[in-house]
């Protein structure tokens, strides 16, 4: 996946900073500045996810599917985020997220196995989580997955292994 280029990288970093400071309004303004070329990038989607989670909690993450659709992203990404919403809403219940992801008929993106790795890790299935993460690495750049995963608290139990990617 292509790295986010300036000025979009700066908008993303500003949004992440505002989110860390708890200022969702400013984070939203910065995210809206990101060009369509990078609006579907996993880092941008993660920031949007955090924004909506901060604003409305778990119910807020369910609106991400609408944003993904508005941005013209792939059906797979929409399915992934719907699965993550179902997953969060049901207190990290693996079957809910897996059911939605299992229905994906389009070619796999790294986000599908990446999210399955997150679910498995949160359920304590570290071996399975690592296997899914390896599939994600095969579909994307290892360094990109490493960067995402080391900032993803869902994968914290695997951070030691992930640093070696």
Alpha carbons 133 and 116: distance in angstroms, whole number: 8
pLDDT digits (tens), the chain, 165 positions: 688 999 999 999 999 999 999 998 999 899 889 887 787 777 887 787 778 777 766 555 555 555 555 555 444 454 555 555 554 544 344 444 444 444 443 334 677 778 778 878 888 889 988 988 887 887 777 888 898 899 889 899 999 999 998
CB 85 within 8 A of CB 62: yes
């Amino acid at each position: 996946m292509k790295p986010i280029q300036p000025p979009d990288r700066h908008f993303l970093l500003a949004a992440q900073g505002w989110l860390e400071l708890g200022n969702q309004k400013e984070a939203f303004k910065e995210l809206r500045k990101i060009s369509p070329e990078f609006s579907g990038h996993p880092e941008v989607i993660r920031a949007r996810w955090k924004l909506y989670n901060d604003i409305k909690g778990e119910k807020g993450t369910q609106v991400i599917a609408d944003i993904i659709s508005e941005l013209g992203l792939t059906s797979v990404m929409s399915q992934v985020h719907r699965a993550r919403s179902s997953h969060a809403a049901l207190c990290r219940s693996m079957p809910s997220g897996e059911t939605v992801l299992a229905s994906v008929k389009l070619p796999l993106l790294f986000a599908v196995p990446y999210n399955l790795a997150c679910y498995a890790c949160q359920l304590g299935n570290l071996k399975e989580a690592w296997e899914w993460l390896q599939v994600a690495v095969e579909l994307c750049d290892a360094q990109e997955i490493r960067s995402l995963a080391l900032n993803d608290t869902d994968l914290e139990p695997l951070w030691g292994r992930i640093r070696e990617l």
